[in-house]
A and B are shown apart, each in its own frame.
Chain A
């Protein structure tokens, strides 16, 4: 299972955002919070390592990483064996 707080913790410790991740809501725009495309690649790698998953090519796009909710949805889909769109 994956919770929004798992993702928040990962973001807070990473230094990829310019704001404190614990203050972000489920739907806040992470790109407006300082996430760059370089940062989103590293975020994906960290998620793969943390949850022992692999993101398929069709999820490697901007929208997948745009909010904590979107990331949680994608990770949950991969953990459940169904890739969330």
Chain B
């Protein structure tokens, strides 16, 4: 990759690659990757310079997630999930003293942020909460309590702070949500269940019974509905897709290396997998174009809440998620046909076993069926304007 963060990203990606097998085998948090990312100051890079960060853009962070995922998809995905939380804080927290302080700490200490949005009994709909913020005080200094049966908090115990969604008040409807960053020393986590999955094993996305206490000033001023539409939803789909693109890129790179090695053995003869390689390369280009297009669309709209909350924008980001999640699986499968048994083996340099297992998480993380249903609903109202450049 190129750009201002290329050197740091390549250092961290090299570390991620060295430990990828043990992270996958032992289903453990990629601690080495995150030590390297902290060292390279990449965790707080999106914090504006005024608060001690590097003022990095989403484009920059997408490139880092992509670079990491090529070597260790769990590392890439955790980095993506962390930056989603950073984006929410940076884009919606600058008007409040507590959040400005957190941003400064994020840059100075390179804190790792996680998220607790899904909840037991809600059925995976992150735009509904059962739990609520409780406590008597109304002012910023008033205390609050929060208790949540979080069905998934990825890398929950490793995180320095967790952004938690909840209903605004005990009598608020499920859709009237806030989001509040809670620091490690303000919360207690009780793990529910274990983490032994097909892929993305380093993310440790287990459930927790979460109990938190803090002050009301910590609650993000803007409603979660707005933060979700303007930032969390588009940034999630963009950064996840960037990580998935990293898996696809590496799968095609391995397939290409296999074909070139075959070609060297018999110069003048096209190796059997060569045409398949051309086919999967075309698909990779399509996916890359789609991800880059969505990033450009976000950067163009990023200063305009009206454009970000329009149905057309939500449709574009939802379709990005569905398409890239399907494409990464297809691309790894096709790359496997190129290298055949060499890709199927676990002990070959062309192995795609882990890629295939990791890729299959993509259509399940916020199920494609759910995104399809939401998009279908939006399309009852949205009319595509039919123009090439929006």
Q: List residues of A whose CB falls within 8 A of some B CB.
A: 18-19, 31-38, 41-42, 44-45, 55, 57-58, 60-63
Contact (Cβ within 8 A) A44 B225: no
Residue B60, interface by CB 8 Å: no
Residue B378, interface by CB 8 Å: yes
Chain A binder among B37-45, B85-93, B308-316, B347-355: B308-316
A57 and B312 in contact (CB under 8 A), knowing A41-B381, A62-B225, A62-B229? yes
* Complex Cα–Cα for A40 and B128 (A): 15
Residue ID in chain A nearest B225 by CB atoms: A31
Chain A contacts of B374 at CB under 8 A?
A: 37-38
Binary A-proximity of B311-344 (CB < 8 A = 1, otherwise 0): 1100000000000000000000000000000000
A-B contact pairs, 11 of them (CB 8 A): A31-B223, A38-B374, A41-B377, A45-B380, A45-B381, A58-B310, A60-B310, A60-B311, A62-B225, A63-B306, A63-B309
Q: B311's contact among A31, A34, A61, by CB below 8 Å, is which?
A: A61
Q: List residues of B (343-387) whose CB comes within 8 Å of A's CBs.
A: 374, 377-378, 380-383, 385
Contact (Cβ within 8 A) A57 B382: yes
A44 and B175 in contact (CB under 8 A), knowing A57-B312, A61-B310? no
Contact (Cβ within 8 A) A34 B309: no
Contact (Cβ within 8 A) A31 B175: yes
Residue ID in chain A nearest B177 by CB atoms: A31
A57 and B383 in contact (CB under 8 A), knowing A38-B377, A62-B309, A63-B306? yes
Residue ID in chain B nearest A45 by CB atoms: B380
* Complex Cα–Cα for A18 and B377 (A): 20
Name the distance in Å between A57's Cβ and chain B's nearest Cβ: 6
Contact (Cβ within 8 A) A34 B173: yes
A41 and B176 in contact (CB under 8 A), knowing A60-B310, A62-B229, A63-B306? no
Contact (Cβ within 8 A) B381 A55: yes
Chain A contacts of B197 at CB under 8 A?
A: none
* Complex Cα–Cα for A62 and B228 (A): 12
A18, A31, A44, A61: most-surrounded residue (chain B CB, <10 A)? A61
Given A32-B173, A37-B127, A60-B312, 4 more A-B residue pairs with CB atoms under 8 Å apart are A32-B172, A33-B173, A37-B378, A63-B309
Contact (Cβ within 8 A) A32 B176: yes
Q: A41's contact among B168, B378, B385, by CB below 8 Å, is which?
A: B378
Name the distance in Å between A34's Cβ and chain B's nearest Cβ: 4
Counting from the closest, the 4 A-B pairs by CB-CB distance are: A34-B173, A18-B173, A62-B309, A60-B311
Residue ID in chain A nearest B385 by CB atoms: A57
Name the distance in Å between A51's Cβ and chain B's nearest Cβ: 15
Q: List residues of B (142-190) whose CB comes within 8 Å of A's CBs.
A: 168, 172-176
Contact (Cβ within 8 A) B175 A34: yes
Residue B134, interface by CB 8 Å: no
* Complex Cα–Cα for A42 and B174 (A): 18
* Complex Cα–Cα for A55 and B311 (A): 12
Name the distance in Å between B222's Cβ and chain A's nearest Cβ: 12
Chain B contacts of A60 at CB under 8 A?
A: 310-312, 381-382
Chain A contacts of B310 at CB under 8 A?
A: 57-58, 60-61
Chain B contacts of A31 at CB under 8 A?
A: 175-176, 223, 225
Contact (Cβ within 8 A) B380 A41: yes
Name the distance in Å between A17's Cβ and chain B's nearest Cβ: 8
* Complex Cα–Cα for A56 and B98 (A): 40
Chain A contacts of B306 at CB under 8 A?
A: 61, 63
Chain B contacts of A41 at CB under 8 A?
A: 377-378, 380-381
* Complex Cα–Cα for A34 and B128 (A): 10
Residue B226, interface by CB 8 Å: yes
Chain B contacts of A38 at CB under 8 A?
A: 374, 377
* Complex Cα–Cα for A37 and B311 (A): 10
Chain B contacts of A35 at CB under 8 A?
A: 175
* Complex Cα–Cα for A60 and B383 (A): 9
